Copies of this chain bind each other. A is one copy, B any other.
């Protein structure tokens, strides 16, 4: 698989988060000759929070994580993740696999099984050969390393064409607080409360309730605002671990929330930029809606429309399809108050093509790799922004030609 044309130039230089160590291994769950398991250890005193898919058919791993989320913050914690098999829709075998992984990590690390979180990503409905993973736990524990986050980002990839990482450092009370995260995901991307697999680490000191609240709120503005193909994964999981190693308590600190937002937004955009077959990165901004919910409906209807997405792939300034998407969204709209922009170019307003509309200008704009489509409903102050990619031959090839 060639790397997405929308990929960042290089994997970022992520800072070491004190209190977190990583290891990876080649367990051969499905892929050969590459790492497919990562283990993260979080030091005693770490707070862990998470958000998860709302899919009614979510995996045994997700159900287990949800049951443990917020239960205890005592002692060290661990996150173990495999790629190649999602352990979703595997019935009692799925629960057995999760229990075996948690028991194995808990025993070999000497921690409480309630502090072990698991994720699996890959094909749905195949039994997870978890023995291949438990056989590697000893090796993983031996290799735990504070600088191992970049290899961890690689080990969790499936159809991803590049590993995804983002970080930021802020100063609170004169002391640095660091946040670093990694993510995987490129297809089955239309998160509902969380997305794909995302792991974020910080040395901030913060209690569970405050951390969970920030995470849930920010998810609605980041990962819940992206879509590749309107399909929602059975395995979406975002976990954050705050080790407190900086000694800085960020409870109620707005700068920390803003910094966490930046890392989450960066990672969510990287997921779109690795959207299966993507050749364009598209921001859709809706303003002037009756309320924010209506704005979000219009933005997502546009972002998920196959006709809009294929027009973008074809570099066709086919704004009529945006009109269609507004119309089908279910949001209140008045055709004659609607205006549409491609970048800075007003293509339609007052219920018709803009008087100065130039097809040549609009077509030239569509040749850009990063596009902004603006829709103003002219009704109120509701607004929303979402991010998506185009729909190309390559998406069909990836998803029609082999089982992923």
Contact = CB atoms under 8 A, between A and B. Distances in A.
A324 B400 contact: no
A338 interface: yes
B234 A323 contact: yes
B56 A327 contact: yes
B56 A192 contact: no
A401 B392 CA distance: 11
* Copies held by the complex: 2
Interface of A: 53, 55-58, 86, 88-94, 123-127, 187-188, 190, 192, 229-234, 304-307, 310-311, 313-314, 316, 318-321, 323-329, 331-336, 338, 348, 350-353, 391-393, 395-397, 399-403
Given A231-B305, A231-B307, A399-B306, A58 B327 contact: yes
B399 A188 contact: no
Contacts of A234: 323-324, 327
A332 B55 CA distance: 10
B91 A327 contact: no
19 contacts: A53-B327, A55-B327, A57-B333, A58-B327, A88-B323, A90-B351, A90-B353, A91-B350, A124-B320, A124-B324, A188-B307, A229-B306, A230-B304, A230-B305, A231-B305, A231-B321, A234-B324, A310-B399, A392-B400
A306 B352 contact: no
Contacts of A318: 403
A352 B92 contact: yes
A396 B392 contact: yes
A125 B328 contact: no
Given A56-B326, A56-B331, A333-B56, A352 B310 contact: no
A58 B323 CA distance: 9
Sorted nearest first, the 5 A-B pairs with minimum C-beta distance are A124-B320, A57-B327, A91-B352, A314-B400, A55-B327
Contacts of A55: 324, 327-328
Contacts of A319: 125
A190 to B, nearest CB: 7
B89 A396 contact: no
Nearest to A329: B56
